[in-house]
């Protein structure tokens, strides 16, 4: 399985594919010319046919690719978490993700919901209710395999326009794609498309609100607010250029383990308009996965809430989160492309800590070793909770 952990690798992958594709075409032509010039009839027809098949695969006439897409929930950094990460010359959050990093590196593309802005120490770090986190949080999630972050959250404007823009500057500096909060209208209009082995995925992100903080007049690009007409327009635009449309959405009621009617209605709307995968978050606890069957027979995969992935919140399911994943197969033949989604999986995680120190995201199944009582029973309960709609 191909593993990668940075966007840099992502880009080099794409470039690699183009280079290899070109090489195939060039060498295919050369070989074909060689075979044709040797026109005495003793050419291995099978060999040519095989080779041509490979060339046509590159041309897109016959094509099959498979990948795994995954997401983790809220990265919500309270002061007790960043104080725990403090080192001599800054912050280091990498040890907090070390135990789950091998699993996070498995999917080809991993999305995280970066709930708090990463404007860094320059404007002063802060915690609930107006968060601003160290930029080393971003360094750690990139190191752990995150390929893109959603940034439309109720905390996007916690530290105003300045905070939101400083956070975007950080993402641009490190080269990680972000979606949901933008530096200007042109940035907002630019679709985020990741190309994984010829499967093009468009990432979209919206939030229900910004905790009552008004969006500055004329600066709607600072955060995508849920608006059916806007979502519809962007989904349709994304469908023109992408094979798979992925929505990362901030919604629902905090601490509720099941979606409400509003979430279900909006999910059905987005699915019907063309969203293929919906990753929900904000409730801080896990809500189940489901399949939505659309009027054209197409299926949309949804997890209503991914819970917290790394936060300072404890108890009542708030310290249980995980990684949801889905396999995507693209098949093209005779000018027709089909996308198949299957094999939904969930990898439950737990945020272990001791006296508000030593925060570690660990596999829930092994959380007993990190002080969680009845970890195995909680693992079983979590898996059945998440899968209950699709069993
Ligand atoms: Zn939230």
Residue 50 predicted with pLDDT over 50: no
Element spanning 110, H or E? strand 109-114
Model confidence band, residue 39 (pLDDT cutoffs 50, 70, 90): very low
Q: Which two tokens stand for residue 41?
A: 């009839």
pLDDT, position 316: 79
How far, in Å, from the CA of 318 to the mean position of ligand 1?
Answer: 13
State the pairing for strand pair 299-306/286-293: antiparallel
> From its phi and psi, is residue 377 left (phi > 0), alpha (psi between -120 and 50) or beta?
alpha
Dihedral through CA 35, CA 39, CA 41, CA 45, nearest 10?
Answer: 30
Instruction: Measure 25 CA to ligand 1 centroid, in angstroms.
Output: 49
Rounded to an integer, what distance in angstroms lies between the CA atom of residue 20 and that of residue 59? Answer: 12
Ligand 1 centroid to residue 209 C-alpha, Å? 9
Q: Of 234, 305, 304, give the one whose Cα is nearest residue 275.
A: 234
Q: Which residues contact 375 (CB under 8 A, 6 or more apart)?
A: 350, 364, 365, 366, 367, 368
Question: What distance in angstroms lies between residue 115's CA and the mean position of ligand 1's atoms?
Answer: 6
Q: If you ran DSSP here, which 8-state letter would residue 370 be given? A: G
In total, the chain counts a number of residues equal to: 391
pLDDT digits (tens, 9 = 90+) for 330-358: 999 988 999 999 999 999 999 999 999 99
Q: Which pLDDT band, with edges at 50, 70 and 90, does 282 fall under? A: very high
Dist. CA 255 → ligand 1 center (Å): 11
pTM: 0.85
pLDDT average, residue stretch 267-284? 98
Q: What distances in angstroms separate CA 277 from CA 52, 181, 261, one per listed residue?
A: 35, 20, 19
CA 210 to ligand 1 center in whole angstroms: 9
- Ligand 1 centroid vs 30 CA: distance in angstroms? 57
31 C-alpha to ligand 1 centroid (Å): 58
CA 211 to ligand 1 centroid distance, Å: 9
* Distance (Å, whole) CA 232 – CA 206: 12
Give the number of other CB atoms < 10 A from CB of residue 130. 16
In the three-class reduction of DSSP (H, G, I as helix; E, B as strand; rest coil), residue 331 is classed as strand
């Amino acid at each position: 399985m191909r593993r990668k952990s940075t966007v840099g690798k992502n880009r080099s992958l794409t470039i690699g594919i183009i280079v290899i594709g070109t090489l195939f075409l060039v060498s295919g032509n050369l070989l074909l010319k060689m075979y044709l010039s040797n026109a005495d009839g003793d050419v291995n027809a099978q060999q040519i046919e095989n080779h041509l098949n490979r060339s046509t695969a590159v041309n897109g006439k016959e094509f099959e690719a498979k990948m795994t897409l995954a997401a983790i929930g809220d990265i919500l950094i309270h002061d007790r978490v960043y104080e725990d990460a403090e080192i001599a010359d800054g912050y280091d959050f990498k040890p907090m993700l070390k135990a789950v990093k091998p699993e996070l590196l498995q999917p080809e593309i991993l999305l995280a919901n970066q709930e708090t802005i990463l404007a860094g120490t320059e404007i002063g770090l802060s915690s609930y209710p107006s968060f601003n986190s160290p930029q080393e949080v971003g360094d750690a999630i990139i190191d752990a395999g995150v390929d893109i972050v959603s940034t439309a959250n109720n905390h996007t404007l916690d530290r105003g326009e300045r905070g939101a823009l400083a956070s975007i500057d950080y993402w641009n500096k490190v080269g990680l794609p972000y979606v949901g909060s933008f530096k200007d209208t042109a940035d907002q209009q630019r679709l985020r498309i990741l190309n994984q082995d010829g499967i093009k995925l468009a990432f979209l992100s919206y939030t229900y609100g910004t905790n009552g903080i008004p969006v500055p007049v004329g600066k709607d690009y600072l955060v995508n607010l849920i608006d059916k007409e806007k979502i519809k327009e962007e989904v349709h635009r994304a469908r023109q250029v992408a094979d798979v449309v992925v929505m990362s959405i901030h919604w629902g009621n905090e601490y509720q383990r099941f979606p409400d009617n509003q979430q279900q209605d909006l999910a059905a709307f987005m699915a019907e308009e063309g969203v293929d995968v919906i990753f929900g978050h904000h409730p801080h606890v896990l809500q189940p996965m489901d399949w939505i069957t659309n009027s054209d027979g197409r299926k949309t995969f949804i997890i209503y809430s991914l819970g917290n992935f790394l936060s300072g919140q404890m108890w009542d399911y708030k310290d249980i989160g995980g990684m949801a994943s889905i396999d995507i197969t693209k098949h093209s033949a005779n000018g027709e492309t089909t996308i198949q989604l299957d094999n939904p999986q969930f990898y439950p995680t737990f945020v272990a800590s001791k006296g508000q120190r030593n925060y570690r995201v660990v596999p829930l199944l092994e959380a007993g070793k990190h002080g969680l009582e009845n970890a195995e029973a909680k693992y079983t309960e979590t898996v059945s909770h998440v899968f209950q709609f699709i069993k």
